[in-house]
Structure 1
Amino acid sequence: MDTTQLLKGVLDLTVLAVVEGEDGYGYDIVRRLRDGGLSDVGDASVYGTLRRLYTAGALTSYVVPSESGPHRKYYGITPTGRDQLKQQRDDWSVFSTTVSTILEGVPA
């Protein structure tokens, strides 16, 4: 099954969930998503999502100098992002339960 469209629909939710626990820089967030089971997530999709969430006020960012390479831009969740994450978690719960019910053939 091609999960590309499914992934697009949950990328905001999963990125916010990943940074809720700990701030991270771009590739670190990509790695955590992949380690969590989203092995098909693309770097460009995550970086685009980070920029969009930052612009919307859901994320904050700051730069951390690195002695072994270029400085890294870290992202953290804002109060707006926490509110968005809570709402999207609730929406996901209802949606996934509904789809599971349909797939199991149980009447709603």
Structure 2
Amino acid sequence: MGKQMTEMLKGTLEGIVLALLAEQPAYGYDITARLRDHGFTDTAEGTVYALLVRIEQRGLVDVEKVPSEKGPPRKVYTLNAQGTHELAEFWKTWNVLAQRIEELNTTHTDTIQKEN
């Protein structure tokens, strides 16, 4: 992923993780793997774990410690009502932003085509 993509992802990763948790509860490594499955291949585990701490502190998820076959218990994150509300706000904001960017892109593309 290029630097520009990495910077854009920083601003949206929380919403993306909340969307994954809306699909099903998960633990940290599982979330990282699911991000990679969705094409976010350069997302570092440390970034995901730091984000999980923040969303837990903000009360967007419920956390349950579940025994693990290997090592200590895993923290499984489940989106709660506050997290569901935050995710809905994320999608509303995302849709407005995406629409405005698309309008700029269309205008820019039209201008370039007229110049050629």
Q: TM-score, normalised by structure 1?
A: 0.92
**Compared with structure 1, are the counterparts of its residues 45 and 68 closer, same or farther at alpha carbon in structure 2 (3 Å cutoff)?**
closer
CA distance in 1: counterparts of 2:50 and 2:70, whole angstroms: 25
Return the offset for 1:52: 0.3
Structure 1 unaligned spans of 5+: none
Structure 2 residue 100 is the aligned partner of structure 1 residue 103: no
Return the offset for 1:45: 1.1
CA distance in 1: counterparts of 2:44 and 2:65, whole angstroms: 23
For the Cα contact (< 8 Å) 1:7–1:41, is it kept in 2? Answer: no
State percent identity of aligned pairs.
Answer: 35
Mapping of 1:27-46 within 5 angstroms?
A: 27-46=29-48
What's the Cα RMSD here? 1.5
Match of 2:78 in 1: 76
Give the 3-state SS of the residue equivalent to 1:104 in structure 2. helix
Give the 3-state SS of the residue equivalent to 1:105 in structure 2. helix
Amino acid of the structure 1 residue aligned with 2:40: L
Structure 2 residue 53 is the aligned partner of structure 1 residue 51: yes
Structure holding more helix per residue: 2
CA distance in 2: counterparts of 1:67 and 1:30, whole angstroms: 19
Give the 3-state SS of the residue equivalent to 1:74 in structure 2. strand
CA distance in 2: counterparts of 1:67 and 1:48, whole angstroms: 24
Amino acid of the structure 2 residue aligned with 1:14: I
Amino acid of the structure 2 residue aligned with 1:64: V
1:23-69 deviation line (CA, Å, top 9, x unaligned)? 00000001101101111211111111110000000011111112333
Structure 2 unaligned spans of 5+: 111-116
Q: TM-score, normalised by structure 2?
A: 0.86
For the Cα contact (< 8 Å) 1:26–1:47, is it kept in 2? Answer: yes
